[in-house]
Amino acid sequence: MPCGSCSPSSGSTNAIVHLAAIAGRVGVDIDLDAFSRLSDETPVLVNLKPVGDGYMEDFNTAGGLDAVLRGIADKLNLETRDVTG
């Protein structure tokens, strides 16, 4: 879900460029149209600088990434394996 969390956190569009490059290096095809649709459907929940108005300490005080993930839980596949297995 790397870029699933970029969109709601006003993350850089460069994240997709880097993800595509990494995927290409390891021979994994990614669907850029799917990322575009996800971006269109996902609200921006965090408005941080340099694009937005807030600061990282505001984000942390408001609940941080846990709060963002709860805000987009309906868009996440919670069955996906992560670093904890």
Q: Using an 8 Å Cβ cutoff, are 12 and 49 in contact?
A: no
- Position 85 in a domain: no
> With 80 as the cut, is the pLDDT of residue 34 above it?
yes
Assess if residue 21 is contained within a domain: yes
Count structural domains, the chain.
1
Structural domain includes residue 41: yes
The confidence band for 2, taking pLDDT boundaries of 50, 70 and 90, is very low
Query: Rounded to two decimals, what is the model's pTM?
Result: 0.51
CB 47 within 8 A of CB 41: no
Q: Residue 1 — pLDDT band, cuts 50, 70, 90?
A: very low
Domain coverage including residue 65: 14-75
**Measured over all CA atoms, what is the biggest interatomic distance in the chain, rounded to whole angstroms?**
40
Q: Is the pLDDT of residue 84 over 70?
A: yes
